[in-house]
Structure 1
Amino acid sequence: MLILQRKKNESVIIGENIEVTVLEIGMDWIKLAFDAPKDVSILRKELAEAASVNREAAKTGPCALDAVKKIMKKEEK
């Protein structure tokens, strides 16, 4: 894992064609801008995890409702 400090309007380049720029900084949040090719998928981690759980739930049939309830509880926290 690489850990960097960036200030407002500073960027990080990932590979040859992905740029992440710090737009705003709040007390307990930051706003980032991602500039990447359209074929690169960019998701918040919690959405990617939920999609993974949904795919697994779809494979199991009747247990799908339990998986959805589990996701909903995680997001409420």
Structure 2
Amino acid sequence: MLVLNRKVGQSIMIGNDIEIVITSVEGDQVKIGFQAPNSVNILRKEIYDTVEQSNKEAVTAKFNLDNLRKREK
């Protein structure tokens, strides 16, 4: 993991087209802005984890449904 110190107004570049800007720091909260192409998904980690889990459950459910259909034949 790369750890950087940044001040308000400073930014970090990821590749050539993703910029992360520190917009404010208030107590223990840091507000961050993102500039990225529309094709790049930006999600909070907890939302990303929820989507991943839902996708895994959907695949498992489909697989189990397919198995049930095969047994019926």
**Hey, what does 2:46 align to over in structure 1?**
46
TM-score if structure 1 supplies the norm length? 0.74
1:27 is aligned to: 27
Structure 2: how far apart are the matches of 1:20 and 1:4?
12
Q: What is the rounded CA distance, in whole Å, between the counterparts of 1:8 and 1:18 in structure 2?
A: 18
Number of residue pairs matched by the alignment: 61
Q: Once the two structures are aligned, what percentage of the paired residues are identical?
A: 38
Q: Which runs of 4+ in 1 moved over 6 A?
A: none
The amino acid that maps onto 1:47 is I
Please give the root-mean-square deviation of Cα atoms over the aligned residues, in Å: 0.9
Provide, for residues 4-58 of structure 1, a one-character-per-residue CA deviation record: whole Å limited to 9, x for no partner. 0000000001100000000010111100000000101111111000001111222
Question: Which runs of 5 or more residues in structure 1 are unaligned?
Answer: 62-77
Q: Which residue of 2 aligns with 1:13?
A: 13
- The higher radius of gyration belongs to 2
Structure with greater strand share of residues: 2
Normalising to structure 2: TM-score of the pair? 0.77
Unaligned 5+ runs, structure 2: 62-73
